[in-house]
Amino acid sequence: MPPYTIIYFPVRGRCEAMYMLLVDQGQSWKEEVVTMETWMKGSLKASCLYGQLPKFWDGDLTLYQSNAILQHLGHSLGLYRKDLQEAAALLDVVNDGVEDLRCKYILLIYTNYEAGKEEYVKAHTYLKPFETLLSQNEGGQAFTVGNQISFADYNLLDLLLIHQVLAPSCLDSLPLLSAYVARLRPRPKLKVFLASPEHVNRPINDNRKQ
Ligand code: 6SG
């Protein structure tokens, strides 16, 4: 029995970074995919702390909130630099930045896609802070913090990949981020996952906009 169970909708949404982390770290997990029809019945929603998915189990431990789950996996699998308090705080800075941009992206996708996409894409200064972050660590040749991958790197990678779908040229003027994506994507287990039908055929967002 895999120790982890993830209950979520049949979209990449807020769980793909988790799946990328688990795959890349050689972990297995059980996925329970909830259709809209099942969700609309209401009993699962009523059982969830905030009435939302994902819901996650690590053995007996039940968690909600995608970032809390990523951070828990970070602690459990040595992807949080818990040896260094300062590095852990810096990782939170990265991850909270990813969360802020993810919220803007979700707002665009679900509430303003047609009217807002052009402006969102044009104002692509939103990715610049992550270029700056990389430049401040090992000249951009490593990860967001330190020289080992962290939970925040998987979250950032997912964010960058979905932005490349939204605007294929969004990294063109950001050389360190471009190289970062080019370096992470071919990690052997991740490469297989990113090419798998499981990932490729899973819509990014529930409304099919991307
Ligand atoms: C939405 O927002 O797909 N969870 C979502 N929606 C259902 O009833 N801060 C936390 C976190 O980081 C945010 C959780 C997140 O974990 S994910 C959720 O549970 C609800 O509120 C994106 C997504 N949404 C659309 C969707 C399809 C089928 C069920 C949810 C639309 C909403 C309900 C039915 C149709 Fe639907």
pLDDT of res. 102:
98
Residue among 15, 16, 53, 103 to mutate when testing ligand 1 (max atoms within 8 A of CB) = 53
Q: What is the pLDDT of residues 150-179, one digit of tens each?
A: 999 999 999 999 999 999 999 999 999 999
- Which residues lie below 8 Å from residue 160, measured CB to CB, with a gap of 6+? 127, 130, 171, 177, 180, 181
Instruction: Output the pLDDT for position 56.
Output: 98
The per-residue pLDDT for 82 is: 65
Give per-residue pLDDT as tens, 35-80.
999 999 999 999 999 999 999 999 999 999 999 999 999 999 989 8
Query: Where does ligand 1 bind, in terms of residues with CB under 6 Å?
Result: 9, 11, 13-14, 36, 39, 45, 51-54, 65-67, 206
pLDDT of 130 over the 80 cut = yes
pLDDT of residue 45: 98
Residues 6+ away with beta carbon under 8 Å from 59: 3
All structural domains of the chain, each given as residue ranges with its CATH number in brackets, are: 4-78+192-200 (3.40.30.10), 85-187 (1.20.1050.10)
Residue 50, pLDDT score: 98
Closest residue CA from atom 19 of ligand 1 = 52
Please state the rounded mean pLDDT for residues 144-149. Answer: 93
Report, in this order, helix, strand and coil percent for the chain, each rounded to 5. 60, 10, 35
Prior bond to 54 cis, omega within 30? yes
Q: Are the C-beta atoms of residues 112 and 103 closer than 8 Å to each other? A: no
More confident residue, 149 or 84: 149
